[in-house]
Structure 1
Amino acid sequence: MTAVASTLLRDLAVELWEAARTRRPVPPLSVRHPGLDLADAYAIQREIRALELAGGARLTGLKIGATSEAIQRMFAIDHPDFGYLTDRMLLPDGVALDVRTFIAPKVEGEIAFRIGRDLSGSAVTAQDVLDATTEVCPVLEVLDSRIEAWKISLVDTVADNASSAAVVVGAGVPPDTTDLAAARMVLRIGDAGHSTDASAVAEHTGYGSAVMGHPAESVACLARILAGFGTGISAGELVLAGSWSDAVDLVPGQAVHASFGVLGSVSMTTIDREVSAGGVATG
């Protein structure tokens, strides 16, 4: 990589980092710089991560994205990607989320794995993941794109931390609580002021098998991808395994609830700070 190319990647990282803070999206990187490849995109992501850490954030985990056909179709992406999680991105179950801290947020329902020992190497299997997992947690991942109008290619979303913005984390249960592939999710989104009115609630359903056949296989895939970068999944990290259904737009005044049967549930409401006091800002 040339010195000029390295400078460009750092400049693009700063541009995306500032876009998240000002909530002013930027044109697609892939259109303005068609020579960018996947390695460049991950280099940009690492630069953004370094800026976050320099600002006091602490790494807490990872996410693998574009693992289901629904999400691949939605964003015209045909390859799993990954991003990082920091402590500033993790939010408690039941949080009141201020949507004005994002650009164009969406939400997905999925589960996350709490990893109890290091996982690395090109031969990691789903069983290895299950053996290393201390608990699985229902989560709502809030996506946001610092790219204008979600006009993303794989390069754009990878550079933009796999379009991740925040994660609402529910209570964990042992990984052997049920067959994760057969588990069913019901994601309900409705008017927060009329949450008991069934006609005002939209339902999205999905199964664990939508995530590469089994959510643990998705995490194993992440470990194998990371091996190509000379790294892996560290003990203690929370790993998001991928969405079980489509991503849904978030607007103020919504009640969002994802139920995973015996695996538990997780919820949040969305607010606008101008009309609701006490909101939780994530930016």
Structure 2
Amino acid sequence: MLNDRLRREAAALLRTAERGRTPVRPLAELFAGIDAEDAYEIQLLNVRRRVAEDGARVTGHKVGLSSPVMQAMMGVDEPDYGHLLDSMELREDTPVRAAAYCAPRIEVEVGFVLGADLPGEGCTEADVLAATERVVPALELIDSRIAHWRIGIADTIADNASSAGYVIGRGRDPRELDLKGIEARLTDGGGALLAAGRSDAVLGDPATAVAWLARTVARFGVRLREGHLVLPGSCTRAVDVSPGRTYTAGFTGLGAVSLSFL
């Protein structure tokens, strides 16, 4: 584990890398002995700084590493999570500057907008469905402040689970849908298929990822609150972003959402 001084150094390094769009070497190469607990504390240091100094507001959380394949790749047996801030919210009608990020990619997700607080310890899928106001088509913009996406588990956790932005559509009541059987397709502006998948790629049921998150953050005294957005993990592989292109995620029974890049 790292001491407080080294955690602050790592947080400052990631913050500078993000602001200057200058990726850094993997944290394990720079801070010997860094572990997941260190990484979550580093993540929190930067989230708290954004809230205190930039006036940002926490609007939800995201789950990463929600597929068995990604967990095996990272050598872990559970997902990780990051924070969503209002400053990360993107709009379908406002193109995004790709150059504002280090190495942006997008992921296709079925998002959950909470209409009530979730319980913490013991939260179940039934609790998630009861508390969800609507599920929404979502695109998450991910980015890595680690050079060439050469990340380990400590890197992605410390780097706010590689999150950078999000856009959501209108959505529907989750009780009207088979949440395990939503087909998802990511296409470009010309209609070419870039990636495809299904919602049960996320831990078998995206509601399972939300329940896991509620239980996990409860250990740190955090609750998932009414109005929060939860992104439970991607239905498809991540796709590299190119300037001048539009990306549209379409979901059976749920609608679509798009994001354009300059």
Fold agreement, TM-score > 0.5: yes
The equivalent residue for 2:30 is 32
Mapped partners of 1:70, 1:108: distance in 2: 16
Mapped partners of 2:74, 2:148: distance in 1: 11
How far the C-alpha of 1:14 sits from its partner, in A, is 1.3
Using the TM superposition, name which of 155-164 and 5-14 deviates more.
5-14
The equivalent residue for 2:219 is 228
Deviations 1:190-221 (Å, cap 9, x if unpaired)? xx4xx2xx5xx233111111101111111001
The answer on 1:177 being equivalent to 2:202 is no
The answer on 1:43 being equivalent to 2:34 is no
How far the C-alpha of 1:77 sits from its partner, in A, is 5.6
The answer on 1:7 being equivalent to 2:2 is no
How far the C-alpha of 1:78 sits from its partner, in A, is 4.8
The answer on 1:138 being equivalent to 2:137 is yes
The equivalent residue for 1:274 is none
Cα contact 1:130–1:216 (8 A) shared by 2: yes
Cα contact 1:206–1:244 (8 A) shared by 2: yes
How far the C-alpha of 1:27 sits from its partner, in A, is 0.8
TM-score with structure 2 setting the length: 0.94
Mapped partners of 1:255, 1:156: distance in 2: 29
The amino acid that maps onto 1:153 is G
Mapped partners of 2:154, 2:206: distance in 1: 24
Cα contact 1:77–1:153 (8 A) shared by 2: no
The equivalent residue for 1:280 is none
Cα contact 1:92–1:170 (8 A) shared by 2: no
Aligned residues: 261
Mapped partners of 1:72, 1:251: distance in 2: 27
What's the % identity of the aligned pairs? 42
- Which of structures 1 and 2 has the bigger CA Rg? 1
The amino acid that maps onto 1:124 is C
Cα gap change, 1:43 to 1:227, in 2 (>3 Å)? same
Cα contact 1:89–1:167 (8 A) shared by 2: yes
Cα gap change, 1:142 to 1:78, in 2 (>3 Å)? farther
Mapped partners of 1:92, 1:75: distance in 2: 32
Q: What is the root-mean-square deviation in Å for CA atoms of aligned residues? A: 1.7
Query: 5 Å matches for 1:19-168?
Result: 19-53=17-51, 54-72=53-71, 78-168=77-167
Gapped regions of structure 1 (runs ≥ 5) = 272-283
Cα contact 2:119–2:127 (8 A) shared by 1: no
Deviations 1:47-74 (Å, cap 9, x if unpaired)? 0001111211111111111102354467
